[in-house]
Structure 1
Amino acid sequence: MDELTLLRSTRDDTLAPSERTLDAGRAALMARIAASTPTADSPRVEHVVPRRRRRPLRRATWIAAGTAAALTGILIAGNVNLGVQSARASEVLRQAAAAAENATDASIGPGQYLRSLTHARWMSCSNPTDAADPDAMVCAPNDQTLDVYRPTDSGTPWVLVRDWGAQSGPTGASVETMRSVGGYFYGPEAPWQTGDVAAIPTDGSAAYAWVDGQYQGGSASRDEDNFVRIADILRSGLVPAPQRAALLDALSRVPGVTSTAGVANLDGVVGVAIGRAEPIRFGERKEIIVDPTTGSVIGERTVAGAQAWGWGAPGEVVSLTAISTTVVDEAP
């Protein structure tokens, strides 16, 4: 007989506990339970339930939601603030446009010239020949003057006298005198800033459409390109009052334009700076400085948004000009 057969033969499946045995077991169990139940006189035993670890996901979700809400609030507040500043700048520009409409330009007689003098302080950057790094750039402020004479007679050459300061001009001289009928000093496609002034509509909305319609994909954005092209025309100092008023009104229609009061040009004349910061250029801000009482542009400036090429800390004025317009009897 093997072990398995022997084991099976010793087990009796017919045996079952008697009622007496079961009753005795129940009584013993109840006595054990009664003995373990605390009474008023018995010491209390605290049962410490292990604290369940919280899932970090729900908390992280709330933190993320809170952060998103805070960022949304910041963005909304920033947009609201920019909207308020833009509305204020638009109002300043419209006031300047109204002043320009009511302004009387200086009368220019036969043989006379309208002279626009720009005193500029621009950064001049160069690569030192002895620098260890071939890409190293050294930048420093450089004062220049651009003296333009526009004749009353369309057949008489315009005159530009330019002092390049510490630099040299295209001819290698630091001071150059150039003459060109129509002001084409730098080639047939580059009339001096204003181009055909007569083509500029005298209505602000139409002037904006005229500028916007010439966009060809330049600059960091369409809005920047529109702002810069309007500012380039205005800073020439040669725009008649009706077109000047329309361009100031058009400038108020460029998104993101804001104003800063009490800004002095390079010669110390105070006006209102009108400009916009371009995000793609790390917040660099281009501005024109306007005399709101006459609608005349008296200067321009550039405020750095971030440091580049080792110069231009955030908020630093990296270029500044002064612009004045007079009538003279002769040109150099």
Structure 2
Amino acid sequence: MDELTLLRSTRDDTIAPSERTLDAGRAALMDRIAAPAALPAHKAPRVRRRRPLRRATWVAAVVAAALTGILVAGNINMGAQSAQASEVLRQAAAAAMQFSDVVPGEGQYLRVTRHEQYPWCEVNAQNEMVCQGTNEETTTVYVPADRDEQWVQVRDWGNFPGKDVPETHRAVDGDFYGPDEGGFSTPSPEEKFADVPLDGAAAYDWIHAQYIGGSASPDEDDFQRIVGLLRSGLVPAPQRAALLDALSRIPGVSSRGEVQNLDGISGIAIGRDEPMRLGNRAEIIVDPATGQMIGERSVSGTTFFGWGAGEVVSSSALAIAVVDVAP
């Protein structure tokens, strides 16, 4: 019995500590460290001079205790976030298996819309990277019920230089830009995702075995390649479930709870901080009821190019629907 089957037939009643509980525990710990111990009046120590060395030792002990408390609380918090992420992803995997994918009828199209907002950056005369404002771009792909017919892509580049009007492309199998470009290229979705193992552990091994270098780390590469597949919006439910399960197995993956995608639709943020990129965080937003990815975010890990730590640098929304006509 594979893990997804087991997940569908059992229920894990283990409840990870909430963020409120962890915050309260951390605050209590720090208050306890900072507050002087209260002694009965008859046992109050006599005032006496202390040697500087003993004073410094006492201060060092308090600082060490405080730092230990912060580190322990931080580790507990990260562990809870990782456990929550694993739980959400595996629940979403189970939901994907039970959720009926949207399928167009004869003559209809599956419309996949990706709306994204990202910073506009360029190198100035001093060879410095300067980011000024943001750009919004929308790419919509119309996938015919008969996959052998032409697909249609409409791409509105927003304020991208040299792209003043939306572009419309037509191609069989969504091969709009040639192989491995544009996210909808040949082969067809059925062929493209056929090799994804249907067991979560096997899917993780399959992804990890493809690493040949690049990215900041193998874990970042695994995360990004899985997200790249899910981003198409065309991964069939069995393979999507396995890929969600595989995401839960990548070291460092954690949850930030409920957030909104660029279009204001709520989902659960699942992502990982990359130490080799100053802690910058890449996230996907998942609808736990359907196991569908509904958007992405990138969050800064430190202050750079005008963004403060923890600020959303770019975001997107992914929407799927059935329509009767294509442009």
TM score, norm. by length of structure 1:
0.73
Q: Does residue 326 of the first structure (1) align with residue 316 of the second (2)?
A: no
Counterparts in 2 of 1:9-158, with a 5 A limit? 74-127=70-123, 133-158=126-151
3-state SS in 2 of match to 1:237: coil
Q: 1:318 Cα deviation (Å)?
A: 1.0
Counterparts in 2 of 1:198-237, with a 5 A limit? 198-237=194-233
Matching residue's letter, 1:144: E
Matching residue's letter, 1:321: S
3-state SS in 2 of match to 1:183: coil
141, 145, 153: which is aligned to 1:160?
153
3-state SS in 1 of match to 2:289: coil
Deviation per CA, 1:129-186: give whole Å up to 9, x if none: xx6x3435233111110101223334323322111100046xx554211223332333
Look at both structures and tell me which one has the larger radius of gyration over its CA atoms. Answer: 1
Matching residue's letter, 2:220: E
CA distance in 2, matches of 1:266, 1:136: 25
CA distance in 1, matches of 2:152, 2:74: 47
Instruction: Tell me if the contact between 2:158 and 2:164 (Cα under 8 Å) persists in the aligned partners.
Output: no
CA distance in 2, matches of 1:162, 1:69: 56
Q: 1:234 Cα deviation (Å)?
A: 1.1
3-state SS in 2 of match to 1:239: coil
3-state SS in 1 of match to 2:268: strand
Instruction: Tell me if the contact between 1:167 and 1:174 (Cα under 8 Å) persists in the aligned partners.
Output: no
230, 243, 246: which is aligned to 1:247?
243
CA separation of 1:311 and 1:178: change in aligned 2, threshold 3 A? farther
CA distance in 1, matches of 2:157, 2:80: 40
Instruction: Tell me if the contact between 2:118 and 2:134 (Cα under 8 Å) persists in the aligned partners.
Output: yes
Which residue of structure 1 lines up, in the alignment, with residue 171 of structure 2? Answer: 180
CA separation of 1:105 and 1:303: change in aligned 2, threshold 3 A? same
Q: 1:65 Cα deviation (Å)?
A: 9.2
Instruction: Tell me if the contact between 1:185 and 1:192 (Cα under 8 Å) persists in the aligned partners.
Output: no
Which residue of structure 2 lines up, in the alignment, with residue 290 of structure 1? Answer: 286
Q: 1:283 Cα deviation (Å)?
A: 1.1
266, 273, 282: which is aligned to 1:270?
266
Instruction: Tell me if the contact between 2:81 and 2:256 (Cα under 8 Å) persists in the aligned partners.
Output: no
3-state SS in 1 of match to 2:173: helix
3-state SS in 2 of match to 1:98: helix
CA separation of 1:222 and 1:65: change in aligned 2, threshold 3 A? farther
CA separation of 1:205 and 1:288: change in aligned 2, threshold 3 A? same
Which residue of structure 1 lines up, in the alignment, with residue 44 of structure 2? Answer: none
Unpaired runs of at least 5, structure 1: 1-53
Aligned length in residues: 272
Instruction: Tell me if the contact between 2:302 and 2:309 (Cα under 8 Å) persists in the aligned partners.
Output: yes
Matching residue's letter, 1:114: L
Instruction: Tell me if the contact between 1:120 and 1:145 (Cα under 8 Å) persists in the aligned partners.
Output: yes
CA separation of 1:155 and 1:218: change in aligned 2, threshold 3 A? same
Instruction: Tell me if the contact between 1:265 and 1:320 (Cα under 8 Å) persists in the aligned partners.
Output: yes
Unpaired runs of at least 5, structure 2: 1-50
Instruction: Tell me if the contact between 1:143 and 1:164 (Cα under 8 Å) persists in the aligned partners.
Output: yes
Q: 1:289 Cα deviation (Å)?
A: 0.6
Instruction: Tell me if the contact between 1:235 and 1:288 (Cα under 8 Å) persists in the aligned partners.
Output: no
